[in-house]
A and B are shown apart, each in its own frame.
Chain A
């Protein structure tokens, strides 16, 4: 539910409450009125009864005719009042008691006044029996007197009946009144009860509405508050983000004006410009972007608002992805930076399209990239030059340098002498360039030749001008300097090359790499195992090794050396006990046999072969029968041919690790052979024969 809906509901609730109260009051009023009306209807009965009572009472003293007419009136009123009682709805519906009372009242009336017609009739007859002159004024006494005077016995009797009826009626009316009062009291009580109930209901209703409204209202208000609280928080968070983010963020509306919301970084970057509400294109102008870029940018940005445009393409043609701008820094000094603007479209809260822009300072990246590119270009040029140089013999190269230098110096001398004939000077420069170019081309120095060619053409164009100015001379002189620098560069390459070549020679003259590697391995491993070693290579010269053998022999020798050190050669104390030198000796040798095969020898004066172990293992393997003994050569043959495991090989020939298996494989693949000669406790010699 949106915030707006919640507010509306709250408002509706409040209004609703007011309505309900108003309505309730109105309703209450209305009901009160009805009750009052209905009570007054009941009161009317009482009044009528009372009137009748009054009329009856007065019948003795006051003129009968008058009383009769009053009573008739009262009768009529009573009739009406009683019939009105039937229109009472509300009280009757609310209380069966009241209903009963009213019925009582009605019933009483009928029963109490049954004598009335008789009375009226008698009264009529009595009045007719007297003189007209006293008809209207005659009261009961007068009638009686009249009757006595006139000796009207009938009249007297009638008068008596009249009196009796009157008494009866009066009694009835009194009783009716009393009854009425009783009923009225009941009705009144009931009414009060009804009214009280109504008020209680009203209050309950009122309270219920209030409570519900308060509860609902509080809930809604709370939810509104929590939403606004979240909004506040979100706002604060956005503020924090905008303050701290290391990117310049800003917005542009459809008219490409810069909006209010932007990140702190953006504000700092463009602190000297009042950019808010400024058209973005004008902003670009302010920061020094070239006019043609601004032009393109306008078209570019407008494309974003076009639904159908391919976004990938748009990203690729961003004209502002690298722009050079001028801004003021902290010290009010102008700084030039490279920045990158990137745009994306988004829809804002009012459902309008806007552009979100980010700007980043990419100066370092750009400068770094440029430096890198320059480095690459330099290296590329160097390589190309080297390739071109190595094909030329040194003397020719030297000649080229000398000749070029001569040409340049000749020109320089000319310039120094300050000839005023500029055209002649430029011409001489042209000839010099042409000559050096020719030499470079012959030698195949492509790079320099190309450079010279370009310069030559430029000078040629210059010579075609009608006038040659001092500035043109300056230009040509500078070009000459460029040529000098390029030749100097070339010289440097040559020197580098010579240095390299001499280094190479040095290496070859010293002791071979091969022997030194082996020496190193032995020294390292020997130290690790605590053994003293000596490498004798007096019968070995790596120069005599065919190139194809180098790696394999190196690998094999290194492995053998490791094995010898770790297992073959004893530690100094043990050796001494055995009467050997404390230092173990490894001899490597190389000779050629009559068939041209190379024979490599590796001999250590260590433990040699363990005959007992061989025999044991052989017997276990079923390669020897019990009681058979081996001599050394048989043992070796066995080891080679009978598939002993590496571990077994290790312990037998006092070697470790790769073992003979791998060495054997290497030798096999080189189509060679390996032999072992050994004496237990004395030495172990490997002989490797490789075809050349």
Chain B
């Protein structure tokens, strides 16, 4: 399994612009899977709109956001066939066990508790893209 031929699109959903930037900056120009293009959204509704317009490979999702929170976005996406298999990683400060369990119940693919180590984030995403 080597690099992928096309550009990987990652959608970062977080109401904090700073957090969006931090996550974006965690990635190098070229990672193990090749190049990455980042899209961002500041709340759940915006996220869904972006997903309608673009074909996203990975979704990085915060929990606490205005309008539509992360958990609701997750549930909504898993309801449709189109997004049932989409890798969705929640990156959030909600660290309590029952939060994680709730997210797992709703079908999250993986869960990272802020602060997120760059290495862990890259490894997880690599796992999803390259299927390791």
> At the interface, is chain B mostly helix, strand, loop or mixed?
helix
By the criterion CB–CB under 8 Å, are A309 and B98 in contact?
no
- Does the CB pair A313–B104 fall under 8 Å? yes
A300, B110: Cβ atoms under 8 Å?
no
**Most chain A CB neighbours (cut-off 10 Å) among B102, B104, B109, B110:** B104
A303 touching B105 in the complex, CB below 8 Å, given contacts A313-B110, A313-B111: yes
Say if the beta carbon of B130 comes within 8 Å of chain A.
no
Contacts of B97 in A (CB 8 A): 296, 300, 317-319
Contact in complex: B110, A299 (CB < 8 Å): no
A318 vs B98: C-alpha distance when bound (angstroms): 9
B98, B102, B104, B109: the one contacting A314 at CB < 8 Å is B104
Q: Which residues of the partner chain B approach A310 to less than 8 Å between Cβ atoms?
A: 109-110
A313–B105 touching, CB < 8 Å: no
Nearest B residue (CB) for A293:
B98
In the complex, A380 has a CB within 8 A of chain B: no
Q: Which residues of B contact A317 (CB under 8 A)?
A: 97, 100-101, 104
List B contacts of A303 (CB < 8 A): 101, 104-105
In the bound complex, residues from chain A placing their C-beta under 8 Å from that of B100 are 313, 316-317
Q: A310-B110, A313-B111 in contact; A296/B104 too (CB < 8 A)?
A: no
Contact, CB under 8 Å: A309 / B101: no
CA–CA, A679 and B130, complex, Å: 84
Looking at the assembled complex, report how far the CB atom of A363 sits from the nearest CB atom of chain B, in whole angstroms.
Answer: 21
In the complex, what's the smallest C-beta–C-beta distance from B88 to chain A, in angstroms? 12
Q: Is A620 an interface residue (CB 8 A)?
A: no
Q: How far is it, in angstroms, between the C-alpha of A303 and the C-alpha of B98 when the chains are bound?
A: 12
List B contacts of A677 (CB < 8 A).
Answer: none
CB distance from B87 to the nearest CB of A (A): 11
| B91-112 with Cβ < 8 A to chain A | 97-98, 100-102, 104-105, 109-111
Interface residues of B in 74-132 (CB under 8 A from A): 97-98, 100-102, 104-105, 109-111
> Inside 8 A of A313's CB, which chain B residues have their CB?
100, 104, 110-111
Interface string of A296-309 (1 = CB under 8 A from B): 10011011000001
Q: 1/0 per position for A360-396, CB-CB distance to B under 8 A?
A: 0000000000000000000000000000000000000
Provide the bound-state CA to CA distance between A314 and B110, in Å.
Answer: 10
Q: Which of A303, A317, A319 has the most CB of B within 10 A?
A: A317
Query: Could you say which residues of chain B place their CB within 8 Å of the CB of A296?
Result: 97-98, 101
Residues from chain B with Cβ under 8 Å of A292 in the complex: 98
Inter-subunit contact B111/A299 (CB<8 Å): no
Interface residues of A in 307-350 (CB under 8 A from B): 309-310, 313-314, 316-319
CA distance A314 to B101 in the complex (A): 8
| A residues in contact with B110, CB < 8 Å | 310, 313
Given A300-B97, A317-B101, A317-B104, 8 more pairs with CB closer than 8 A: A295-B98, A296-B97, A296-B101, A299-B105, A302-B105, A303-B101, A317-B97, A319-B98
Can you report 29 A-B residue pairs in the complex whose CB atoms are below 8 A from each other? Answer: A292-B98, A295-B98, A296-B97, A296-B98, A296-B101, A299-B98, A299-B101, A299-B102, A299-B105, A300-B101, A302-B105, A303-B101, A303-B104, A303-B105, A309-B104, A310-B110, A313-B100, A313-B104, A313-B110, A313-B111, A314-B104, A316-B100, A317-B97, A317-B101, A317-B104, A318-B97, A319-B97, A319-B98, A319-B101
